[in-house]
Structure 1
Amino acid sequence: MPKSVLNWFIDHATELSRQESSPCDCVAALAPFMMELIGNAPDFLEPEHYRSDAAHYSRNLIYRSGNDDLSLYALVWMPGQWTPVHDHGSWGVVGIVEGVLEERSYVCLSVDRTRDEGIELVRGGIILLPAGAVTSFVPNPDHIHITGVPAERKRAVSLHLYGRMMSDFHLYDVEAGTRQLVALEHNAS
């Protein structure tokens, strides 16, 4: 049963992502399916999707399309684990399977967003995403943020659907006003 529910979601996500031409329309079409998946089938993930690492949050690859235009990950966040400040270079839809995930956004004040230096970022708002919540983002301007779980909270598990193979992203040094493209690691299922 769990595997068939996950396959249903992947099939629908693939179909909808190819039908919608703009990132905004794509995430608008996909967000309700993410909510349905995480709300109606709490046991859809396999044990290997819950792998964690004491040193940093874990990215467990669930699905990668043949042409790398879609990827799905289960991220496991132990207490005190955070991403660095980063962007995605893609649209994305995120659903919270377990726990509360915290997102702290940054606002880019720089006019030229193509440069890797002279980037002026200021802190934005905070979003608390409890189990069952769904959020989304689109590129251009990209969604710059940090995400994680404060040390005093319990583990969180989130499901991330991206409009590309999420094998790299930009990391930002807020104080230096720079960014660099870095490769990402993941656990393959």
Structure 2
Amino acid sequence: MPKSVLNWFIEHATELSHQQSSPCDCVAALAPCMAELIHNAPGFLEPEHYRSDPTHYARNLIHRSANDDLSLYALVWMPGQWTPVHDHGSWGVVGIVEGVLEERSYICMNSERNRDEGIELARGGVILLPSGAVTSFVPDPDHIHITGVPTERPRTVSLHLYGRLMHNFHIYDVASGTRQLTEVEHNASH
């Protein structure tokens, strides 16, 4: 039964995340679980997890822990939809359910990372994450990137597990060298 598989994943992810003392150990423990879910449980998402928005990628909240130390979202990316350049302030594990998600990384060239002005970012590499791929990130140094789907590719659905409620994150203005903490709704797109 697909729903029980998703519940198993959430319970197992909660247990594993509480057993780990560092973000690196946490994503190392959780990435194989994400891969198992995506590879072995087709149809585990409910119809409401596929909600899309014609103007922005959609963030569909699947699970929020009682103390906000874990959240799980299904993100739906229509062709041409991208995030702004951003970070997470958390560890995360991402699995691709459908399509190909493109990630373009940025590297902070400053030695002092925790500031909102005078940020020097350089473009890094590009990663193409096809259906079944799993990737992860940790908060220190934070993972600064832009993700999305080029107009010539079909819809992509990705599953995002974070070590906190992902209700805010920094958005970077690369040209001006600034960043701003931005609040987002739980089931909203941005």
Task: Give the TM interval when normalised to the shorter protein.
Answer: over 0.9
Alignment of 1:115-130 (within 5 A): 115-130=115-130
Letter in 2 for 1:126: V
Letter in 2 for 1:56: H
Can you give the 5+ residue segments of structure 2 that lack an aligned partner in the other structure? none
Shift of 1:114: 1.3
Q: Corresponding residue for 1:112?
A: 112
1:41 is the counterpart of 2:63: no
Q: TM-score, normalised by structure 1?
A: 0.98
Shift of 1:87: 0.0
> What root-mean-square deviation, in Å, do the aligned CA atoms of Structure 1 and Structure 2 show?
0.7
Counterpart CA distance in 2 for 1:142 and 1:127 is: 17
1:150 is the counterpart of 2:150: yes
Letter in 2 for 1:145: H
Counterpart CA distance in 2 for 1:97 and 1:185 is: 23
SS in 1 for 2:88: coil
Q: Corresponding residue for 2:177?
A: 177
Counterpart CA distance in 2 for 1:186 and 1:156 is: 20
Q: Corresponding residue for 1:5?
A: 5
Alignment of 1:24-173 (within 5 A): 24-173=24-173
Letter in 2 for 1:46: E
Structure 1 residue runs of 4 or more that deviate by more than 3 Å after TM superposition: none
Letter in 1 for 2:51: R
Counterpart CA distance in 2 for 1:127 and 1:149 is: 12
* Percent of pairs with identical residues: 82
Contact 1:101 1:147 in 2 (8 A): yes
Counterpart CA distance in 2 for 1:174 and 1:41 is: 39
Counterpart CA distance in 2 for 1:7 and 1:100 is: 25
Shift of 1:187: 1.9
Contact 1:58 1:187 in 2 (8 A): yes
Shift of 1:76: 0.1
Contact 1:58 1:186 in 2 (8 A): no
Shift of 1:150: 0.1
SS in 2 for 1:185: coil
Can you give the 5+ residue segments of structure 1 that lack an aligned partner in the other structure? none
Residues 49-103 of structure 1 deviation map (CA, whole Å, 9 limit, x = unaligned):
0000000000000000000000000000000000000000000000000000000
Shift of 1:47: 0.0
Residues 103-151 of structure 1 deviation map (CA, whole Å, 9 limit, x = unaligned):
0000001111111000000000000000000000001110000000000
Counterpart CA distance in 1 for 2:91 and 2:8 is: 21
Counterpart CA distance in 2 for 1:59 and 1:52 is: 8
Counterpart CA distance in 2 for 1:185 and 1:81 is: 18
Counterpart CA distance in 1 for 2:52 and 2:123 is: 29
